[in-house]
Chains A and B, each alone.
Chain A
Amino acid sequence: DTAVSQTPKYLVTQMGNDKSIKCEQNLGHDTMYWYKQDSKKFLKIMFSYNNKELIINETVPNRFSPKSPDKAHLNLHINSLELGDSAVYFCASSQDSLTGELFFGEGSRLTVL
């Protein structure tokens, strides 16, 4: 039973398109995150939500809009995709927003052509 699941796993699209990545966790956690792993494999936080409320927005372009309909879901919508958006996007969750252990999904590889 997957704890943190993301869909789709692979996404190939053209520049200028809009796309979404969905994430769900069944761990009963309060906090969810989006991380981006670039081509050099560095992982950087993008957003964090605690109980549907945005608590971290790491100076990500406005084209990226997270949405949390409930605390078990955190979706990422990206408008007007650019070549530089190509990366692997990881969703994660933790029990709380302070010191909890993070659990990651398997990642969604986005390729923008």
Chain B
Amino acid sequence: KQEVTQIPAALSVPEGENLVLNCSFTDSAIYNLQWFRQDPGKGLTSLLLIQSSQREQTSGRLNASLDKSSGRSTLYIAASQPGDSATYLCAVSGAAGNKLTFGGGTRVLVKP
């Protein structure tokens, strides 16, 4: 059974610092890994999708890496801004049917 863990559960940084969020999963047989952002009381916004054959994906200040063999992904957010404050969730798809298994999330606070 796939298990996804995100450490740390919460993170507080001053504005301008780079953010590093970690995600680990127990079963390396995944189809893809997706990073989401969730604002309080809101839905999930897809940030990056990495297919199992890829090593990383980039979008603006965001970069996500994937190491399938070790069961890890890292989300880097460069030059953090207060608007980056949110909960970041990673999820892996490991079976037909695109069934996502989610981590518990990392709650990020960027202080001005």
Contacts and interface: CB of A to CB of B under 8 A. Distances in A.
A56 B93 contact: no
Interface in A34-81: 35, 40-45, 48, 50, 55-56, 58
B93 A99 contact: yes
Contact of A99 (B36, B43, B51, B102): B51
Contacts of B41: 107
Interface residues on B, range: 20 to 34
A112 interface: no
Contacts of A40: 104
A85 B89 CA distance: 23
Contact of B104 (A42, A48, A56, A98): A42
Classify the interface of chain B: helix, strand, loop or mixed. strand
A15 interface: no
Interface of B: 31-32, 34, 36, 41-46, 49, 51, 87, 89, 91, 93, 96-100, 102, 104-105
A96 interface: yes
A56 B100 contact: no
